[in-house]
Amino acid sequence: MDRVIEKVKKEEKMVIERSKMSVENLSAWFGDKQALFNINIELFENKVTAIIGPSGCGKSTFIRNLNRLHETISGAKVSGKVYLDGRDIFDHNCCDVVTLRRRVGMVFQKPTPFPTMTIYENVAAGIKLYGKKPKGKLDQIVEQILKQAALWDEVKDVLYKPGPSLSGGQQQRLCIARALAIEPEVILLDEPCSALDPISTAKIEELIHKLKQNYTIIIVTHNMQQAARVADYTAFFLLGEMIEFEVTSKIFTAPQDKRTEDYVTGRFG
């Protein structure tokens, strides 16, 4: 693992990256079926890391472990360590799961605005979990967050309409806004564009570019062009194992592993 990081650093010829999340020997199971095998990876601060690989390779399971959502499925098990700023998220003495999920936000594949809530309420939903705020202050935060999510101009006149009345792409940006509203440090994106059209996808990718100045972003995608466009680092997963982790350009131009090469050149997957 250290070797890989060294290589990464050399390749970039830049200041040493700060590791925001560090994963050690992470394995995960659904019942008896093992879905992840000894994953080791560093997720660097203020960088976008893409996880690519064919369907069923464990990439979603992997990021669902970073906010411990994997464990909520009945029969799911996990072993190994995941450090967030040097502290193990599975260690019950140091971190509770609510605080973890507040620091590590997540956006899902299908846009999931809360259907009975307005756009405004959707953005405010997470904020309200952490204590009441005066209405004026809340208004301010909602506006600021929606601007951050590049959605404000499109929704400022329909704030009190239900979330699902928006288009798919807008709904997904609303979900990003909802995740941003609780001021996370890391954002997990689980195939955020796979249900969207190209224009909406472009908007989300633009947003990812903007957001990485303030957040550490991990994006799962089965779209290799997307990984190439948005990610600084890319990890290739296959059958529950991490095959290769490199600077994105390297993964796509000079992959070390034959399997990575086969995948990125479109020979399978």
Partner 1 sequence: MLLLLLLLLLLIKSSLGFKTFGFGFFFSSAWDPLHDVFGALPFIYGTIMSSLIALLIALPLGLSCSIYLAEISHSKFKEHIATMIDLLAAIPSVVYGLWGIFVLAPALGGPSLLTGGVILSIMLLPTITAISREVIQAVPHNLRESALALGATKWETFKLAVFGPALSGIVGAVILGLGRALGETMAVTMVIGNRPAISPSLFAPAYTLASVIANEFAEATSEVNLSVLVELGLILLVITVIVNGIARILVWKTTGHKK
**Interacting residues with partner 1 (CB under 8 A):** 67, 69, 72, 74, 97-102, 105-106, 108, 110, 112, 114-117, 125-126, 129-130, 161-162, 164-165, 175, 178-179, 182
Give min distance, CB of 65 to partner 1, in A: 13
Nearer to partner 1, 80 or 162 (CB): 162
How many angstroms separate the Cα of 251 from the Cα of each of 140, 151, 217, 233?
42, 33, 18, 8
Give min distance, CB of 178 to partner 1, in A: 7
Spatial separation of the C-alpha atoms in residues 95 and 105, rounded to whole Å: 15
Give min distance, CB of 202 to partner 1, in A: 24
Main-chain dihedrals φ then ψ at residue 162, nearest 5 degrees: -65, 145
Nearer to partner 1, 115 or 136 (CB): 115
Nearer to partner 1, 44 or 108 (CB): 108
Q: Enumerate residues 6+ apart whose C-beta is below 8 A from 187.
A: 104, 105, 106, 107, 176, 179, 180, 211, 215, 216, 217, 218
Strand pairing category for 48-52 and 216-220 = parallel
Give min distance, CB of 194 to partner 1, in A: 13
Nearer to partner 1, 85 or 261 (CB): 85
Give min distance, CB of 103 to partner 1, in A: 9
Nearer to partner 1, 3 or 92 (CB): 92
Give min distance, CB of 241 to partner 1, in A: 25
Nearer to partner 1, 161 or 210 (CB): 161
Beta carbons within 10 angstroms of residue 99's beta carbon: 12
Spatial separation of the C-alpha atoms in residues 173 and 192, rounded to whole Å: 9
Beta strands in the chain (DSSP E): 19-30, 33-44, 48-52, 76-84, 87-88, 104-107, 186-190, 216-220, 233-238, 241-247
